[in-house]
Structure 1
C-alpha cells in the first residue's frame, strides 16, 4: 500500500451530517427544534402536573407528577411524521396511542395512524401547545389519572384549559444527524438540500489544499444507506455514492489515499447523531450483522482494488456494553467480505468506546493487514475539566503515549488514532497554548504505525477545523 503512516483528516459532516459542525444546514426546516429523537416533556397547565408513561411504558399515561423526575417516566421521544405531526416513544421503546375509550396509553410496539399526534403551538408562546389526536379531538388532562383525547373546540390558551400543555424540550436531547435533516426537510426538499451540500462542502480544491499542506489521506465517514444508492430507504436520499466516487478520483489526482469509514450503521451502534440514529436508542446487534456486512461487501467490491484506497473501517465508535461477542462476530464476517475483493486492503477495527484500548488486540492478531482504531479527545469527560494547558500536554506525553504503545506489538495489528483534535474546553487558552497542545499530539500520534486523522477538515469551530488551524498557523505539517 505504501505511504504509511498516514497524516490524514476526517471529512466529517460531508456524507454523514453532524449539525453541531454546521447548524445552518438545518435553518430551512419548519419546527427545526422538533426533529426526530428530540426529548420533550408535557405539563398540564390546569393541573400543573407532568404527563408520564407509568412504568416507562406498557400501561396508561397519567398526569400526576409534580416534577419531571426520571428519564424513564416523563420524557417522550419524538418521531417526526410531518412538520407538525409526531409519534411519541417512551422509555421502554413503546409508542403512545389511544385505546378504545380514547384514553392515552403507551402500549404500541410500532407507530401508525392511532399513534400519530399533531402538536399545535401558540404563535405568541411556542412552548404552549395543544395536542390533536388521530380522532380529530384534543388531548386533555381531566384528572391525574385520566388523560384522554376527547376535548372539542377552540381555546384562549388560558392555564385553566385542560387541553393546554406546556412543552419543554429537554436540554441536550436534540439530534442533528442524517436522519434528522432528511426527514426534517422531507422527500420534496431534502434531495436538493443534500445535493447542494455534497457539491459545495468538499471539492477537489480541498484535496489540492490538503495535499499541498502535507496531508496524505482522508478518512471519509459514510452511512449504511450509501449501499442502496441511488434509492436508499426513506428518509435518506441518493447522491452520496457519487460524491464518494468523486473523492476517490480527487485523491488519485492529488496523490492521496481514502479511508472509507462506515460511520453510521443500521440500528445505530452508539446512539449518537453521527450514527444515523433516528432517536438515540442503540439497536444494533446480532440481527443487524448480515445487513451491515452487506454494506462492507458493497464498498469492498466497488473500491477494493482502487489505487487510492487506504483502508476500509468496519464500524465507527461502537458503544455496545456487554455485546462484545456480537462485535467480534461482525468484524470476522466483515473482514472476510473485504478479503473476497482485496487481499491487500487494510481492514480497520474500531476499538469499542466503552472498553480499554487493547480489548481487540488478541482478536485482531488472527487477521492479516488489520488496524486497530482508537479515538483520543481531551474532552467529554470530567477528568479534563480542571486541567490547565500544561496538564493536558503532560497527559498526552504520558497517558496517551502509554495507551497507544499498548496496542503496538511485533507482527500484530497496526494502530491508528482515527480521531483527535486540538480543541480544548479550557477558557482563555492562547494561540501558543493551542500550538503546544497540537504539537504534543502530533509528536505522540505520529508514532502510530497506520497514522492519525484529525477531526475534522471543516467545522464552524476554528480549533476543530484542520483547514483553519493550518491557514492560521496553529499547525504546520509540511516542513
Structure 2
C-alpha cells in the first residue's frame, strides 16, 4: 500500500534490528552478559561482536518481512538507526548497508520509510533504547550534538532521492524533567562516574536543536519529504512554535503506551484505559491544531490482558484495547506500532517469554487476531 499525500500513516517500527534492546531479544546479550548495546560493544571481542551483529541484522528483518507488512495493508516502516550507522565510530560496527537494503525492499513493496535517529553519543534519555542505560548527558556536549547533526545530514544526502523516503525523524525520545525523574533507568548506570552530569533535555536546548536540524535537513531533502520531531514527552508544550519558526512539511511525534501508565496504578482496569486513551486523544487534538501529529509508538500490551486465564478472554481484552486506541489515534496523522516483532523467530525463547511480551509483537497480534486489520472486513478507523 503506497502512502498518498492525504493518506493516514499506518505503520510499524522495525525495532531491535539496527538498534538493540535487550528485553526484545535477550539471547543476543547472552555472550556478553551486558544490559545495553553500548556495553555489549565495549566488552565483546571485536570479531565476535561483528559476527554476532551480522548474523542478527541479516536474519531479524528481511525482504520477506517487508512483503508481509505491505500485504497486511500497512504503508510505512519507521526504522530506528544508531549514531554509529555509518561505521565511523571506533568499536561500534556500522549498519548502513542494511538501511540501503531496506530502501530497496520498501521500493519493491510499495512501502515508505521514516528514518529515525534513535541514539546519540552520551544518550538523550538514559534508556537502553538510547544506547546506554542510566547515562543522559549528550545535550551537554556540543561536540556530540554536532556529530549527531552531521549524521542526520549524511543520511539525508544519501537517501534524499529515494522514492521510498517518507521523511526523517531528528531524534527519538529526548527526555523531559518529569520522565527523567520517574524513569526506572535513572541512577542505574553501570559506571556511576560515567553518569555524572546526566539529566533531562531542557526545552530551550530542544527547540534550538530542532531549529538547527530543520535548517540543515530542509536544505538537503526534497520539499515533499517530512521532517519529524519527537515531542520530548511534552506534547502540550509546543503550541504554534513550528509555525512561528516558518517550518514547512513538519510533523510532531508522540509516544503513548498503556503499559507505561500502568506502572503508576495498582490495579489495571478497562475504565482506566478508556480515561488514559481519551486523555491522549484530547491532547493530540489540541496539538494538531498547530502542527500535524503522529503516534509514532504505541502497542496493545497491557496488564489486564495478561491476567486473563484463557486465550478467548485475553483476545477480548486486546480487541477492546485495540478498538479504543485506533479510534483515538485516528484524530492524528496516523500511527506506527511498536514493534514488528520480538525474539526474532527464536522458538525456544518465544515459548519461555512470548506470553509476557505478546502485546508488543505485531506478528503475534496478527497471528492471534487481536486487532482488526485494513481489508479484513472489520471496522478500521
TM-score range, shorter chain: 0.7 to 0.9
Aligned equivalent of 1:465, options 352, 357, 361:
361
CA distance in 2, matches of 1:472, 1:351: 33
- TM superposition shift of 1:325: 1.2
- TM superposition shift of 1:186: 2.4
- TM superposition shift of 1:425: 2.4
Could you report, residue by residue, the CA deviation over 1:84-130 in whole angstroms, capped at 9, with x for unpaired residues?
xxxxxxxxxxxxxxxxxxxxxxxxxxxxxxxxxxxxxxxxxxxxxxx
- Counterpart of 2:113 in structure 1 is 258
Is 1:245 paired with 2:100?
yes
Could you report, residue by residue, the CA deviation over 1:431-454 in whole angstroms, capped at 9, with x for unpaired residues?
1001110121111112212x1111
Work out whether residues 186 and 235 of structure 1, in 8 Å CA contact, stay in contact via their aligned partners in 2: no
- TM superposition shift of 1:384: 4.0
Superposed counterparts of 1:313-328, under 5 Å? 313-321=169-177, 323-328=202-207
TM-score normalised to the size of structure 2? 0.81
CA distance in 2, matches of 1:384, 1:258: 36
Secondary structure of the 1:234 match is coil
Aligned residues: 324
CA distance in 1, matches of 2:167, 2:291: 13
- 5+ residue gaps, structure 2: 178-200, 309-313, 344-356, 376-381
Superposed counterparts of 1:77-92, under 5 Å? none
Aligned equivalent of 2:4, options 2, 7, 26:
2
Work out whether residues 167 and 228 of structure 2, in 8 Å CA contact, stay in contact via their aligned partners in 1: yes
Is 1:452 paired with 2:306?
no
Higher Rg of the two aligned structures: 1
- TM superposition shift of 1:467: 1.2
- Counterpart of 2:187 in structure 1 is none
Superposed counterparts of 1:17-416, under 5 Å? 17-29=20-32, 32=33, 35=34, 175-176=35-36, 178-226=37-85, 228-229=86-87, 232-238=88-94, 240-277=95-132, 279-285=133-139, 287=142, 288-321=144-177, 323-342=202-221, 343-353=223-233, 355=234, 357-365=235-243, 366=245, 367-381=247-261, 382-396=263-277, 398-409=278-289, 412-416=290-294
The structure where helix makes up a greater share of residues is 2
Runs of 4+ in 1 over 4 A off after TM superposition: none
Q: Which moved further from structure 2: 428-437 or 13-22?
A: 428-437
Aligned equivalent of 1:16, options 13, 16, 19:
19
CA distance in 1, matches of 2:317, 2:23: 24
- TM superposition shift of 1:320: 4.7
Change in CA separation of 1:465 and 1:10 when aligned onto 2, cut-off 3 Å: same
- Counterpart of 1:139 in structure 2 is none
- Counterpart of 1:125 in structure 2 is none
CA distance in 2, matches of 1:378, 1:385: 14
RMSD: 1.7
- TM superposition shift of 1:389: 2.4
Work out whether residues 385 and 425 of structure 1, in 8 Å CA contact, stay in contact via their aligned partners in 2: no
CA distance in 1, matches of 2:215, 2:150: 11
Work out whether residues 369 and 413 of structure 1, in 8 Å CA contact, stay in contact via their aligned partners in 2: no
Work out whether residues 156 and 220 of structure 2, in 8 Å CA contact, stay in contact via their aligned partners in 1: yes
